[in-house]
Amino acid sequence: MTWNSTMGLISTLALILPVILVLTLRLGKYKAFPVLIAYYFLLFIYNLMTEGYINANEDVAFYWGLANNLLDAPLMILFLSYFSTSQKFTKKLRVLIALFVGFEIAVLSIKGINTEAITIILGPGILIVLSLGLYFFIKQTKVAISHRKATGKALICAALLFAYGCYAIVYLIYYVFKAHIDANGKINQEYVADTFLVYFFVTTLSSILMCIGIFVERKRIQKLNELKVTRKELSSIYTNTKTAAPLRTAMLDFDKDLWN
């Protein structure tokens, strides 16, 4: 087994870890986590195909890869709505998804289904996700440092920022500058193998960091749910008493935590 095939297997297994963890921690139906499951599952199946662990014909592998490329940005933008602190911003993200899907349809209609069309689509998609990831990473990191909470969200954003930052570099080198094609127009297979090796490393590390972030975030979610239950119980007890106002004051920090 070569170094590339070994890392291909490791990265494939790493892709399924976030899915298993989300389901194990019972977050499969929680807010935007179903989107994260779909994102990693699609990549997991595609890796199995490209690494030869699933015997699929070329057409199936091609269209599965095409679906991955087209759904990559929309799915990730939708997942990033989990970090939104207002309904207004969430609506803006949904509008952004609709606009990007429209952009994809327009490009495919004009260019057809080919490498050039995918190259045009991938660039803006990676840039959008990278920009949003950076924005939410900075925001969640500030919250984690200042208030010692939302550490899980900061780690999840860090995983996405690391992944898409590296993907952006690979995209520029491979698709834009086409460094894998020599002066005679021939593909340098060794360079292609090295590019995939970098992709495998990035995928593995980002998936592991994502799992750590999900695990930490689950603790925060559990704590918030417990506080929510406590709040309801206390509210039902003191509804008709004069302590309703002080109770509300005491729970203000809980309300803030819901948005962070």
- Does residue 246 sit in helix, strand or coil? helix
- Which tokens in the block code for residue 152? 């899980």
Full DSSP string of 164-209 = HHHHHHHHIIIIIS-TTB-TTS-B-HHHHHHHHHHHHHHHHHHHHH
Give strand pairing partners of 187.
181
- Which tokens in the block code for residue 142? 């500030």
Count up the domains in the chain and report the number: 1
Instruction: Look at residue 236 in the predicted model and tell me its pLDDT.
Output: 67
How far apart are alpha carbons 70 and 125 in whole angstroms?
Answer: 9
Residue ranges of the chain with pLDDT lower than 70?
1, 182-183, 232-236, 238-260
The dihedral sign for the CA sequence 6, 190, 113, 206: positive
Instruction: Look at residue 110 in the predicted model and tell me its pLDDT.
Output: 95
pLDDT tens column, 140-150: 999 888 887 88
Instruction: Look at residue 52 in the predicted model and tell me its pLDDT.
Output: 85
CB neighbours of residue 154 within 10 Å: 24
The whole-model pTM stands at: 0.85
How far apart are alpha carbons 171 and 176 in whole angstroms?
Answer: 7
pLDDT tens column, 56-112: 888 898 899 999 999 999 999 999 999 998 999 999 999 999 999 999 999 999 999
Determine the structural domain holding residue 59 and report its residue range.
3-258
Instruction: Look at residue 28 in the predicted model and tell me its pLDDT.
Output: 92
The CATH number assigned to the domain holding 86 equals 1.20.1070
